[in-house]
Amino acid sequence: MRVLEKRFETLLLHSVEKNKKPIKSKITPIYQTSAFTFDHLDELEGFFQGEGNYLYSRTGNPNTDELGQAVAAIEGAPAGVATSSGLSAILAGVLAVVRSGDHIVAADDLYGGSFHLLKEELNQLGIKTTFVSFSNLDEVEQAIQPNTKLLYTESITNPLLRVENLEAVVNLAKKHDLKTLVDNTFATPFHCNPYLQGIDLVIHSATKYIGGHSDVTAGVVVGGEDLVGQARAKIVNLGANVSPFEAWLTSRGLKTLALRMKCQSFNARKLAEKLSSNPNIAKVYYPFNETEEGFGAMVTIEVSKNIDINQFFKSLSWVKIVPTLAGVETTVSHPLTTSHRALPVEASAALGITKEVVRISVGIEHHEDIIQAFEKAIENSVH
């Protein structure tokens, strides 16, 4: 009988030494590990002295680092860090700048989740926010207080697609020695690079266009080394890190961003143009004149009062109702009852987010099929 070198239970775990030789994989492998090993205590101490890269996946992982660095590169920023979601990226970005007792001036037409985070959660931490229209920078300037530290807005707002004047925001911030944070999720780096325009921190809900396939939840913060370092510390200490596998999936999706955005933006422009002439559509929100291919893949419409909104959603055939955006399939959402549900009724009404407003995330299907699906739904819901 052959005698095993180790007992069976031990052999199950330690039968094969881990391969430490470099393997020239075409893409970064998935480092699906919670922690990394050390050969001796001096090597372990070396990590804490800045000589090693990885200790524990909450503090860093090759896959999460790759995602942060890749988005930073296409934004033209020196540094980037990945997070567990878009909202955790916003939290880390904000906390990189402000502390308890500080004040933020934010756009009043932000994504509803961002609005709630600033108004409710950060308020409990002693961080106050004043919401004003960034369409009028005189109002923004009037809202600045002695303890204001940050101006916060979106490059294209959600859901009414107002394009922010980033140059003017940057100039105002410099005048008052403030930092700036911009959520660039809707525009994506394909259409807009806020950091190159002088914005200090740029946020992405990588769940959306960065990943692009509706199969991950992730976020990214990019900017200068110092502020991203502050954001990274918050992510580590608050446990807001993204898992290695989700980071790997998001990095894989990022590689096709240009292809997807070219097609989706083209389709969005075609749909917006067609619906603009439909008598049953009261208003179409789309940034038509920013670039030749349009400015993003989102179209928001306000249907006329003679449209039964429930019947409209029921009549959309293959277009699904989804409370998010940016996958390769065309989807719709109802901002009043989903993304902006947290807004006070009076705030939604003031912005024009009514029950008739529909947000469309345009996919990569043939544009004529997309147009036909919406025209049929409109026709079927007239009463």
The reported pLDDT for the residue numbered 4 is 64
Residue 206, SS3? coil
The reported pLDDT for the residue numbered 347 is 78
Residue 248, SS3? helix
- Domains in the chain, start-ordered, CATH in brackets? 31-86+200-255 (3.40.640.10), 258-380 (3.90.1150.10)
Segment 257-281 mean pLDDT? 96
Set 119, 162, 208, 274: catalytic member: 208
Residue 357: both structure tokens together: 């407003």
Segment 362-376 mean pLDDT? 98
d(CA 86, CA 208): 9
* 372, 196 contact by CB (below 8 A): no
The reported pLDDT for the residue numbered 67 is 97
Residue 180: both structure tokens together: 């700036």
Q: pLDDT tens across 25-62, in order?
A: 999 999 999 999 999 999 999 999 988 889 999 999 99
Set 111, 195, 209, 285: catalytic member: 111
DSSP string, 284-347: EE--TTSSTT-S-SEEEEEE-TTB-HHHHHHT-TTPEE-SS--SSS-EEE-GGGTTTTTS-HHH
| Cα distances (Å, whole numbers) of residue 136 to 147, 151, 165, 290, 321 | 21, 14, 10, 20, 34
The reported pLDDT for the residue numbered 52 is 83
Q: pLDDT tens across 138-175, in order?
A: 999 999 999 999 999 999 999 999 999 999 999 999 99
Q: Is residue 293 over pLDDT 70?
A: no
Q: pLDDT tens across 170-218, in order?
A: 999 999 999 999 999 999 999 999 999 999 999 999 999 999 999 999 9
User: Which amino acid type is present at position 342?
Assistant: A
Is residue 111 flagged as an active site residue? yes
Segment 218-234 mean pLDDT? 98
Is residue 174 flagged as an active site residue? no
Q: pLDDT tens across 59-73, in order?
A: 999 999 999 999 999
Set 65, 102, 108, 183: catalytic member: 183
Compute the 3-state secondary structure of the chain and give helix, strand, coil in percent, each to the nearest 5.
Answer: 40, 15, 45
Of 53-67, 265-279, 344-358, 365-379, minimum mean pLDDT range = 344-358
Set 56, 58, 283, 341: catalytic member: 58
DSSP string, 91-135: HHHHHTT--TT-EEEEETT--HHHHHIIIIIHHHTT-EEEEE-TT
Confidence of residue 8 (pLDDT cuts 50, 70, 90): confident
Segment 312-332 mean pLDDT? 96
